[in-house]
Amino acid sequence: MTILMSESPPVLEKDLEPLRPWSKRPASFWLAAFLGSVVPLAILGALYLTTDLAVALLLIAFYLPLQLIGAGLAGYFAKGKHGIADSAIIVFAIGATALSAIILGSMLLTIIVRGIAAFRPSFIIQNSTYISPSTPLEYGGIGHAILGTFLIVGIATIISVPFGIATAVYVTEVRGRAVPYVRFFVQAMSGVPSVVAGLFVLTVFILTGVLNTSAMAAAIAYAILMLPTIARTAEEVLRLVPEELRTGALALGSTRARVVLNVVVPAAKTGIITAILLGIARVVGETAPLLLTALKNDQTVLNPFTDPISALPTFIFDNVAQPYPDAVTRAWGAALALLIIVGILFTITRFISARKPRR
């Protein structure tokens, strides 16, 4: 018996053309979208030129409502009543993104413009010994504060990273009976204000005579603040490692410890580095713990156990409130230096984490 198969119709060239659903929208949609974009900008520009109202007030009181109305009309002509809500969400999302970008750009521009006046080689390498707030910018610098920041943050990282990663491994891999309590304490520590960490170190270590006001005391306070950030972020990263990697390694005869060290942690290397970066970013600009544990010192201090030490946050705090313009400029310069240091650290760490491992 012969079965006749019907031939499929030939594929025409027009059937291969990509669909363009936006081309089917009515002209009223494009008109409403154009008016909703141009008219609010025109009204905002006219009010800005003819009135003395603040830009923020004009954006909130006039531009945003007009933009919502224009986007709502465009959404209505495109999708009906459901398009109004979609357009409102789009306007608020774009507006929030633009506002965040404006705030960030304004902050960066302000720090650069005001801090660049203090930048010179002597400002980076010299300390502030024999320097008063009224001393001209040609003398003195923040070299001692930069060294103090590296010393405090470095010791805090050495203390907090092993404990944070070990906590994350215990919660995700060991899964012992104390996991709920460990997770509770980590979450509770994440809400501790920075000044409380400084008060804890002050009362437990400094007032009892265990430590002096020094870089070590400040590093312990920083480590208390870094630990929950590193632990919680590393926990979420370790949870993303596929379970098949663990079971496959165990099936080959590896122990649980070897699986964690040689399989799980290397697979989550980039995320763990990100957790460390977030921990450093959490504390690098904190001032309150340093005011209670490190104090200040205009000289360069290398011993982290004996003498008070200055850091960039405390240097900024001490100079920004001075009634002398040169002292305020030094504070802006220190803020710019702190911003550059954080940017360099993040760039180097990202470059290291992005490198492919050797086979």
Residue 31 has pLDDT above 50, yes or no: yes
CA angle 216, 348, 241 (to 5 degrees): 90
pLDDT for 1: 46
pLDDT for 246: 86
Q: Which of residues 313 and 15 earns the better pLDDT score?
A: 313
pLDDT in tens, 113-150: 999 988 888 899 888 888 888 888 888 889 999 999 99
Residue 322 — left, alpha, or beta (φ > 0 → left; ψ -120 to 50 → alpha)?
beta
Average pLDDT over residues 309-317: 93
Per-domain boundaries in the chain: 26-116, 143-354
pLDDT for 111: 92
Average pLDDT over residues 331-348: 89
Q: Which of residues 53 and 332 earns the better pLDDT score?
A: 332
Are the CB atoms for 297 and 131 separated by under 8 Å?
Answer: no
Helices (H) then strands (E): counts for the chain? 16, 0
Q: For tokens 């399989």, what's the residue?
A: 263
Residue 147 — left, alpha, or beta (φ > 0 → left; ψ -120 to 50 → alpha)?
alpha
Average pLDDT over residues 238-255: 87
Average pLDDT over residues 243-257: 85
Q: Which CATH superfamily is domain 143-354 in?
A: MetI-like (1.10.3720.10)
In the three-class reduction of DSSP (H, G, I as helix; E, B as strand; rest coil), residue 54 is classed as: coil
pLDDT for 359: 46
pLDDT for 135: 86
Residue 103 has pLDDT above 70, yes or no: yes
In the three-class reduction of DSSP (H, G, I as helix; E, B as strand; rest coil), residue 197 is classed as: helix
Read off the pTM.
0.79
The rounded mean pLDDT for the chain is: 84
pLDDT band for position 22 (50/70/90)?
Answer: low
pLDDT for 112: 92
pLDDT band for position 15 (50/70/90)?
Answer: low
* Side chain identity at residue 133, one-letter code: P
Those residues whose C-beta lies under 8 Å from the C-beta of residue 310, and which sit 6 or more positions away, are 128, 144, 145, 148, 294, 296, 297, 298, 301
pLDDT for 57: 83
pLDDT for 95: 82
pLDDT in tens, 255-296: 888 888 888 888 888 889 889 988 998 899 899 999 999 988
Span of 4-13, 112-121, 148-157, 193-202 with lowest mean pLDDT: 4-13
Average pLDDT over residues 46-52: 86
